[in-house]
Amino acid sequence: MTTFDLRSVRVRSGEEYRDEHEVELGPFTFAGQRYVPVPEKVPAELTITQATTGTVFQLRFRVRLHGPCYRCLDDAVVERDLRLREYQATSPGGSEELTTPYLADSRLDLSQWARDGLVLSLPEQILCRPDCAGLCPICGKDLNREPHEHADAEPDPRWAALAELRDRL
């Protein structure tokens, strides 16, 4: 876990602090599948700007994520160039919108912030390629490697009574 101690930074209103950090992301589960950032520690640029009403935090990094394709379970790679921003008001007055959940005891949790930003940037379905055909629902073969079709199977005779009823209605 990568954190940054804000007590080491002294900025006045209108000033900005920039620094490079290696942020540890680590593997995580997304939609029931395990994904691994490569490398697990990514170089990131942290910018802290002091405003008159609070502090603006910005984190910029590029990451490559490896894991299974949603349709065919083959290896999928997603690349993201992220620019994240958080705000912490000097006097939030109990409002959650004016505070950042990544700041506790003058320590900014860069790992959790980066991981949350990465997960929020991901598509609903991570695919190995946009036109992935997936797996055959009958035999389970990869339709990208072996495109094929199956002949219509005979219906289960136990459903014959319902098919008759459907035909009459």
Residue 74: the pLDDT is 95
**pLDDT by residue for the chain (169 residues), tens digit each?**
889 988 888 888 888 999 999 999 999 999 899 999 999 999 999 999 998 889 999 999 999 999 999 999 999 999 999 999 999 998 877 777 788 999 998 899 999 999 999 999 999 999 999 999 999 988 899 999 999 888 876 778 888 888 888 888 8
φ, ψ (nearest 5 deg) of residue 22? -95, 120
pLDDT (tens digit per residue) in 111-141:
999 999 999 999 999 999 999 999 998 889 9
Nearest to 13 by CA among 51, 46, 44: 51
Model confidence, pTM: 0.80
Domain boundaries defined on the chain: 3-121
